[in-house]
Structure 1
Amino acid sequence: MMTELPLDQVRTLLTVVDEGTFDAAAAALHVTPSAVSQRVKSLEQRTGRVLLMRTKPVRPTESGEIVVRFARQLARLEDRAQAELGMPGSGEPTRLSVAVNADSLATWFLPALTRLPPGLRLCFELRREDEDHTAALLREGAVMAAVTSSPDPVAGCSVRALGRLRYLPVAAPAYAEEWLGTRAGTPLHEGIAAAPVVAFDRNDDFQDDFVRSLTGGGAGTLRHFVPTSEGFVASVAAGMGWGMVPEVQARPLLADGRLIHLLPGRSVDVPLFWQQWKLDFPALGAMAEAVAAVAAETLEQAQPG
């Protein structure tokens, strides 16, 4: 006999994850914290799995992620059914949650949202995350779709290639002369490993990978962490260090002499993919098409044949 998942318990689990604590979930659901705790415990007993890590904020376990993803998909299906039936409350806007890396947000992604018909009445919740980690938010059920660097689909998701975001190794001219000896004609590999570098955060190893391709070792220990795409570019242009900058952001600064290309003819392309829930949900489908269209216009595409 199949064991059912009580929907009130499933919705309660989702609320706890979204609100971060049992007390906050109780306030959102207009019940007592003990009632919330009991519902979650009952669901864990029914599934035979621990579904939540009792941390602050609360986090779903691997099994909990499956239930959270199911709860979000169920909510979307309910919204669609209500709209098709013309039920009260069906006029509420549809919220689409998407994980996007910072450089995509700063360069090409946002124009895709403006192409969606206003009649769809959409609200967007964008989660900024490194492209190597956006797929984790899909697995957790925290988002419905993601721009990711992984071509391997998350369970229950479809994937399509978007194109490649091209990066250039750049620096301010005065910085390059002082630290890299560009005016004297010093080979780049001789100075770049010890030169100050700008990184997005402590998880950003993009610059290290580039230096490793030249010298076999990583970038230097003199590094600045600037966790916004626009701030990253400004820091490099200000001479704080060299960095890997999206070509679309570097181009105007190269043209006016504020940046120089450290290794002309050399670039690094990062492949990007769109992953989304396998769900017959028109708003999500419309967004996927708009994102793919803008990506085809702005990202580097594979040459046919």
Structure 2
Amino acid sequence: MTVNLPQLRAFLAVVDTGGFGAAADELGMSQSAVSHAVASLERELAAPLLIRSSPARATALGERLVPYARTALSAVRSLEAVAAEAAGALAGTVRLAATPTVCRGLVPGLLRHWRAGQPNVTVRVFEGDSAEIAAWLEDGTADAAVLVDPPPGTGVPLVEDRYRALLPRDHPLAGEAAVDVRDLEDDPFLVSPGGCETRLRELHRLAGARVTPTHRVRDLATLISMVQAGLGVTVLTEASRPLVPPDLVLLPVTPPASRRLALSGPRDRPWLPAVRVLAESAAARQWATEP
């Protein structure tokens, strides 16, 4: 049995993009070449790996093979990167994962900074929630990630992203310099489930305030639209400011609280040389969560 890297790249590209056409665009090759590579891999393994539907998805066997394929390609990319670094030619692609708020508030500035300092390194951004990002970093889907409140000593610290109250501009507290979390107890309160809700509950606990969410909304844009519609208020972070429309205000909260953002490579594998260089470059300057 002979399995080669182009076969694995084509297989993973279809899994990740959900289609042969999108995978072809991702890899810079024809759709027929992608189909041929996947079909040849299936012949080598004597079993179907993909369900040809819309979107395309892995079979049960394909799902079992995905982490091994990622590990194999990650190892090869690391070898190529180390060789390029030794030759003094740092180049290639770094796949960076981050949450939607971080992608909008912090990542644009990072990308501009990296493009100026390392023009031969391409950074591709993937959005996901905190759990997805951790999984992508572990299985090799992402080479690096901006982590939220990672364990001490993890990655390179970037910024303290401070919490803010999001209110309609006509809210009675909208003209205040800061909003006490306890003063929001009588308003319908909106939250995003998962890590965000956990952090907001801790913020309310520190303030001695109650929190009983009226709605749990996963999508940040929907959450903001609901505040616009007068359905409630919420607490976001400074990284959300680029998304705030003019009829809403984002105000400091008391007691002051923040979350830590850090840039990290994988925990259990060597970082790509390009990731190390980008992390060192990011650590060398101060960052704000506004673009």
Whether the 8 Å contact between 1:16 and 1:24 is mirrored in structure 2 is yes
Relative to structure 1, the CA distance from residue 66 to residue 218 in structure 2 (aligned partners, 3 Å threshold; closer, same or farther) is: farther
3-state secondary structure, aligned to 1:115: helix
Q: How many residues align structurally?
A: 265
> Cα–Cα, structure 1 residues 102 and 9, in superposed 2: closer, same or farther, change >3 Å?
closer
2:39 corresponds, among 9, 19, 37, to: 37
Describe the SS at the equivalent of 1:114: helix
Change (3 A) 1:265 1:106: same
Superimposed CA distance per residue, residues 12-71 of structure 1 (whole angstroms, 9 cap, x where no aligned partner): 4334334534676687475484662341463588xxxx9778773335636522321431
Alignment CA distance shift 1:115-1:20 (3 Å): same
Find the counterpart in structure 1 of residue 105 from structure 2.
Answer: 107
Q: 2:256 corresponds to which residue?
A: 267
Q: For 1:147, what is the secondary structure of its paired residue?
A: strand
Secondary structure of 1:175 counterpart: coil
In the alignment, which residue of structure 2 is the partner of 1:141? 140
**Which of 212, 215, 219 is residue 218 of structure 1 equivalent to?**
212
Higher deviation after alignment, 26-35 or 278-287: 26-35
Q: Which residue of 1 aligns with 2:273?
A: 282
Number of the residue aligned with 1:129: 128
Report the CA distance shift for 1:54/1:287 in structure 2 as closer, same or farther (over 3 A): farther
Aligned counterparts, 1:1-305, within 5 A: 6-21=4-19, 28=30, 30-31=32-33, 33=35, 36-40=38-42, 42-43=44-45, 56-59=55-58, 61=63, 63-75=65-77, 77-78=79-80, 81=83, 94-116=92-114, 117-118=116-117, 120-149=119-148, 151=150, 159-162=154-157, 163-172=159-168, 174-176=170-172, 188=183, 190-192=185-187, 195=188, 197=190, 199=191, 205=197, 209=201, 213=205, 218-221=212-215, 227-228=220-221, 236=227, 241-247=232-238, 258=249, 264-277=253-266, 278-279=269-270, 281-294=272-285, 297-298=287-288
Aligned residue for 1:191, secondary structure, equals: coil
Decide which structure has the larger Cα Rg and report it: 1
1:64/1:52 CA distance change after superposition, 3 Å = farther
1:127-186 deviation line (CA, Å, top 9, x unaligned): 122334311222342221111236369xxxx941525422123423633469xxxxxx9x
Please list the CA deviations of residues 259-285 of structure 1 after superposition, one character each: whole Å capped at 9, or x if unmatched. Answer: 555xx5223322333321444643222
SS of residue matched to 1:123: strand
Q: Deviations over 1:72-129 (max 9, x none)?
A: 441453366479779xxx99x6222101122223333332333335554222211122
Q: Which has the higher contact order (CA 8 A, sep 6+)?
A: 2
**Amino acid across the alignment from 2:220:** P
* SS across alignment from 2:146: strand
Q: 1:291 to 1:43 in 2, by over 3 A?
A: farther
Inter-CA distance 131–268: structure 2 relative to 1 (3 Å threshold): farther
Distance 1:268 1:52, change over 3 A: farther
| Seq. identity, % | 19
2:201 maps to amino acid: D
> What residue is the counterpart of 1:181 in the other structure?
none
In structure 2, what residue type is equivalent to 1:70? A
Q: Cα RMSD over matched residues?
A: 4.8
Amino acid at match of 1:115: H
Tell me the TM-score normalized by structure 1: 0.62
What are the ranges of 5 or more consecutive residues in structure 1 without an aligned counterpart? 179-184, 300-305
Deviations 1:239-267 (A, max 9, x none): 553121324766xx9xxx94555xx5223
